[in-house]
Amino acid sequence: MEKIEHINYIKSPISGVYEALVTQNGLGRIWTTKLVVKPKLNFVNEFYFDDEDATKMKIVELVENKKIVWECTSSDPEWIGTSISFDLSEKNGVTSVVLRHENWRKITEYYRWCNYNWAMFLLSLKEYCENGTGTPYQERHF
């Protein structure tokens, strides 16, 4: 199985970074403006991009200010059954975010494109947490 893994450092308290990753307001400011999100274990978050079908992520682990794990239950076929995790730690006022997208069946063109887009996601998270303005999907220029 293949995985995507990134790290970014955010000059923001860990609580603010965690809040951005688990709330409708936070994820709406950094990933997509069309979403249904609740920070509750076993809740299935819904994210909408270009099409009418939702990308659905079940929350399988939620440890405040430390870890978030989603399992993809509906999306592009290459995503279904994969997991996305965010591991957070803070040192000297800087929060590190390790993002992992695991259980890809193989490396494909779509995998590579998603790898790039996860880096853009972390940049948007950083900008939102540090400056108050992220770049959700609807505001990005592809």
Q: Where are the domains of the chain?
A: 2-131
Spatial neighbors of 20 by CB under 8 A, at least 6 apart, are 26, 27, 29, 30, 125, 128, 129, 134
What angle do the packed helices 14-22 and 109-131 form, to 10 degrees?
Answer: 130
Residue-by-residue pLDDT tens, the chain, 142 positions: 999 999 999 999 999 999 999 999 999 999 999 999 999 999 999 999 987 789 999 999 999 999 999 999 999 999 999 999 999 999 999 999 999 999 999 999 999 999 999 999 999 999 999 999 999 999 988 7
Q: Name the CATH superfamily housing domain 2-131.
A: START domain (3.30.530.20)
What's the predicted TM-score (pTM) here? 0.96
Residue whose pair of structure tokens reads 């494909």 in the numeric block: 108
E strands of the chain, at which residues?
2-10, 34-36, 44-48, 55-63, 67-74, 83-91, 94-104
Amino acid at 66: K
Q: What is the DSSP letter of 132?
A: S
Would you state the pLDDT for residue 100?
98
